[in-house]
């Protein structure tokens, strides 16, 4: 039975306070009445999250938090007090980020990238925004061109930072961003470069994609990204309007639209073109 993880347990007995669940080693944990659902019976297997509640008891819940032990998440601060910052992570008991674990002093209502760990003394789950000790910069187990999972967490002058496969630090350069993305998004990406310092350069399209689009198509994608994913232009727009907004001919614009539409990157309507 692992604190901070999803565990598959069996319902073995009931009390006034709830159901007791058991793992394969006969370790038991209480699932309080608040999480009992209609139809649950002795012998049923359940996927539950194990953590310490507000009374410091180890309990099980059918609720799944936004982050598990050893993972990163982008969470919002609900309250700040003398103990630290408390973040919403999808459970009744908010997640504590002690002051000692804050890379910068956290503020209420703001969002931060955190890593979930266990306090070795108390077994309580806590978070930290000091993420570097939990990232790998050596023995990188991904290949150039490989599809990876991204958690976006911070825009800089160079581009958007990302956690890659919950292990590595990556960067999507501004020149590679042709659609609207925001911190907190979980999306797919592709490894472009593995740098000597162990950081990864990431692109949002499969390798070789950039060779299949011309400069006019890039102009359209960039304009869409700069205008919240929508341009009030169609293949029937005045050539002067197209040239003023995009700096290209109507013929080049129509060719670029066709290319993007075939790749299912845009939607066309009577009002204009929308980034998917």
Per-domain residue ranges of the chain: 6-61, 72-132, 147-203, 213-275
Domain 147-203 architecture = Beta Barrel (2.40)
**Taking the model in full, what pTM does it have?**
0.73
| CATH of region 213-275, choose from 3.40.50.300, 3.40.640.10, 1.10.10.10, 3.40.50.620 | 1.10.10.10
Q: Packing angle between helix 215-226 and helix 239-246, nearest 10 degrees? A: 80
Quickly state the pLDDT bin for 74 (edges 50, 70, 90).
very high
Choose between 55 and 189: higher pLDDT.
Answer: 189
- Could you write out the three-class secondary structure of 42-91? CCCEEEEEEEECCCCCEEEECCCCCCCCCCEEEEEEEEEECCEEEEECCC
Q: What is the mean pLDDT of the chain?
A: 91
Q: With CA atoms as reference, report the closest residue to 235 among 225, 246, 217, 250.
A: 250
pLDDT at 207: 67
- CATH number for 6-61 (one of 3.30.230.70, 2.40.50.140, 3.30.1330.10, 3.40.50.620): it is 2.40.50.140
Given this model, what pLDDT does residue 258 score? 85
Average pLDDT of the residues in 67-96: 96
**Is residue 212 pLDDT above 80, yes or no?**
no
The model's pLDDT over 9-31, given as tens digits with 9 standing for 90+, comes to 999 999 999 999 999 999 999 99
- Residue by residue, DSSP assigns 8-34 as EEEEEEEETTEEEEE-TT--EEEEEGG
Instruction: Tell me which architecture the domain covering 72-132 has in CATH.
Output: Beta Barrel (2.40)
Q: Tell me, what's the pLDDT at 121?
A: 85
Using DSSP's 3-state secondary structure scheme, residue 126 falls into strand
Whether 213 has a pLDDT exceeding 80, the answer reads no
Report the chain's terminal Cα–Cα distance, integer Å: 43
Q: What is the pLDDT of residues 106-137, one digit of tens each?
A: 999 999 999 999 998 888 999 999 999 999 99
Do 147-203 and 213-275 come out as alike in CATH topology?
Answer: no
Q: What are phi and psi of 32, to 5 degrees?
A: -60, 160
pLDDT at 176 (0 to 100): 86
């Amino acid at each position: 039975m692992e604190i901070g993880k999803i565990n598959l347990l069996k319902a073995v007995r009931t009390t006034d306070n709830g159901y007791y669940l058991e793992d394969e080693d006969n370790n038991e944990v209480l699932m309080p009445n608040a999480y009992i659902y209609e139809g649950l019976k002795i012998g049923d297997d359940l996927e539950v999250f194990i953590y310490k509640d507000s009374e410091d008891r180890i309990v099980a819940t059918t609720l799944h938090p936004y982050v598990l032990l050893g993972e990163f998440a982008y969470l919002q601060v609900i309250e700040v007090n003398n103990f630290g910052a408390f973040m919403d992570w999808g459970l009744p008991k908010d997640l504590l980020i002690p002051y000692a674990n804050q890379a910068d002093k956290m503020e209420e209502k703001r969002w931060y990238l955190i890593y979930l760990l266990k306090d070795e003394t108390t077994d309580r789950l806590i978070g930290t925004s000091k993420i570097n000790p939990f990232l790998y910069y050596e023995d990188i187990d991904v290949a150039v061109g490989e599809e990876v999972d991204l958690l976006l967490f911070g825009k800089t002058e160079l581009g958007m930072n990302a956690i890659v496969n919950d292990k590595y630090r990556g960067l999507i350069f501004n020149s590679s961003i042709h659609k609207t993305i925001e911190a907190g998004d979980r999306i797919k990406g592709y490894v472009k470069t593995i740098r000597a310092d162990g950081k990864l350069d990431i692109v949002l399209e499969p390798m070789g994609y950039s060779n299949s689009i011309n400069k006019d198509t890039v102009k359209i994608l960039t304009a869409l990204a700069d205008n919240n994913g929508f341009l009030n232009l169609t293949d029937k727009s005045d050539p002067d309007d197209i040239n003023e907004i995009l700096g290209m001919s109507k013929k080049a614009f129509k060719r670029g639209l066709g290319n993007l539409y075939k790749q299912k990157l845009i939607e066309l309507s009577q009002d204009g073109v929308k980034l998917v």
